Amino acid sequence: MSRSSVEDRLPTLSRRPGVYLFKDDRGEVLYVGKAKRLRDRVRSYFRADAHHSIKTRELVRRIADLETLVVGSEAEALILEANLIKEHQPHFNLQLRDDKRYPYIKVTLDEAFPRVYVTRRVRNDGGRYFGPYTSVGSMRQALEVVKRLYTVRSCRYDLPREAPDRPCLDYHIERCKAPCVGLQSRDDYRAMIDEILSILGGDTEELRRDVEARMHAAAETLEFETAARLRDVIRGLDSLSREQRVQRVGGGSQDVVGLARDGELAVGVVLKIRDGILLGRDTLRFTEIQDESDDALLAAFTSRYYLGRGEQALRELPREVLLPDDFEDRGTLEGVLTEAAGRKVAVAVPVRGDKRRLVELAGTNARHALEDRVAGLAYAADRADETLFDLQEKLDLKVVPRLMVCFDISHTQGSETVASAVVFENGEPRKSEYRHMRIQGEWGNDDYASMHEAVTRYFRRRRDEDKPIPDLCLIDGGKGQLGAARQALEALDLGDVQLASLAKREEEVFLPGRPAPVLLDRRDRALHVLQRIRNEAHRFAVTYNRKLRRKRTIRSELGEIPGIGPGRQQALLTRFGSVKGIRAASVREIARVPGFSETLATRVLTWLGRGSS
């Protein structure tokens, strides 16, 4: 089908309420919309005099097929639209992203050396859970306090039964005292955990006074960097203390909606107030909003938020939903929620008094959430940490891969074989640690042997120079390259180094001892960091290979000239930069190069195709 055939069908469309689906030439759903009268709404997209936005014009350009579903009422159309958007996730519909569960901070008290990390699942496993945190920013500040003041391990070893041979990078950057290798006693570690439990439980006053005194002392001795760090700790303690207290905001039992936008970004917030107590906050962010109006954002947010929930959640709705502004389908939504809850649920827009104050409070929360989003959250280091912890979880690694090295092999039909080793620390490239090497063995295009040599040479040098051993060694390739790297590490008695390989075609992650690959979601940040370091290793290897190939080509061309040995070749390239630069020079200019005469200069230009000049 084509767009013209879609337009031919317009006069036959129903005038009843319904839902329409625009599709492209591959049958993919581009957009789902609802209408009081299907024919009128769908025809509006194809009117010649229509003043559409850029986004809508692009949608219309790509429409190749149309599907309509007639329903009995506007309410049914609203529900069906929400369900179809949830099912198809069309590119041209407003997209909402949310986290279904609030995060908790977990302390693994069932372990001999407990860990502290974020989780969204609460289990009866002997751990201590703090939360849920309705503000992700506050939770991050709580973790920041713990990280700045204490040295909690981040590895996943079952200590003391299971332990590595050497401490990881966390020890070298003073984030951990390495209890894994006996450098911190169990009693000392548990005393630290007891203090952390008190802080996360809200008992922060005594610690705050201590940190404040240390901050003032640092300022008096002009240690301003230390004072600033301690100031940030105090802010985190204050935020943590506030988060632990119940917030009484007044009013009855309502859901209060707030919305904030900044250019292409927007955030919606629902405050859950029950009997005057703020119990929680749901936050959803929009993507691809482009030139959508505020009314369209609010309508999409409220309908998608409420109609995408289960029956039990709808039955537990409060008697009021308060909105910052009105929109076309508000009455329809009110009817749908009332029917689902089995009692009256008012969807109202207060204009004054306490209820308006609650709406303004929701708007303030939305703006703060948007600021976090725009600023990329408060702490860049924490963002890296979160991704690395996620990577540790997805690949079941024992140690958080703060220090990663990735190897790639590049050659030209078996010649000029080179290897690259690029290093990332805390998720960011550390270019001063990048290394490339020419493969010395006569392996030709044997990538496995070349990988074995590269890994051997790199890790042997790291060990001999007593430098930190990377937490994760990533290989650009599949099972074969991974096996070669593993053999190299075992031969160096470094078999405990964590290994993984990333195959390009399907982006499969292979791990030693696992026959099946790990398949990560293409949108997963853990996969993105692996792709980034892999691509950087590939770029670095290819660049070095091209450089060597170019040098070989140049020297081959100059080497054919009688009387021009390696020394004179280098002198010419140093003076003129390239063969092209030599060709452009005059006999007199070449003759001025040390070791050259006018006769020799004439010979050079003749061999390079210039003749005498």
pLDDT digits (tens, 9 = 90+) for 517-559: 999 988 888 899 999 999 999 999 988 888 776 666 555 577 7
Residue ranges, the chain, pLDDT below 50? 99-100, 244-248, 375-382, 612-613
CATH number corresponding to 392-548: 3.30.420.340
- CATH 3.40.1440.10 intervals, the chain: 3-93
Write phi, then psi, for 176 (nearest 5 degrees): -150, 145
Number of CB atoms found within 10 A of residue 387's CB: 18
Residue 198 is given by DSSP the state H
Strands 277-287 and 265-274, sheet pairing: antiparallel
CATH 1.25.40 assigned to 249-374: no
CATH of domain 3-93: 3.40.1440.10
How many alpha carbons fall within 13 Å on the CB side of residue 75?
10
* CATH superfamily, with its number, for domain 560-607: 5' to 3' exonuclease, C-terminal subdomain (1.10.150.20)
What is the rounded CA–CA span in Å between residue 405 and residue 425? 9
The per-residue pLDDT for 349 is 94
Task: Write the pLDDT tens digit of every residue in 200-210.
Answer: 766 677 778 88
Amino acid letter, 338: T
What does the pLDDT read at residue 374?
A: 56
Whether a cis peptide bond, with omega within 30° of 0, leads into 160 is yes
> In 3D, which of 265, 247, 216 has the Cα closest to residue 138?
247
What whole-number distance in Å separates Cα of residue 52 and Cα of residue 291? Answer: 11
Question: For 104, what's the count of Cα atoms within 13 Å in the CB-facing half-sphere?
Answer: 16
Query: CA 474 to CA 500: how far, in whole Å?
Result: 5
Kindly report, residue by residue over 442-486, the tens digit of the pLDDT: 877 788 999 999 999 999 999 988 889 999 999 999 999 999 999
Q: Where in the chain is the domain with CATH 3.30.420.340?
A: 392-548
Query: Tokens at residue 131, please?
Result: 């939360």
Predicted model pTM: 0.50
Position 242 scores a pLDDT of: 55
Torsion sign, CA atoms 229, 231, 237, 243: negative
Burial 199-231 (b: 16+ CB within 10 A, else e): bbeeebeebbeebeeebeebeeeeeeeebeebe
Q: What is the pLDDT of residue 377?
A: 38
Q: What is the pLDDT of residue 245?
A: 43
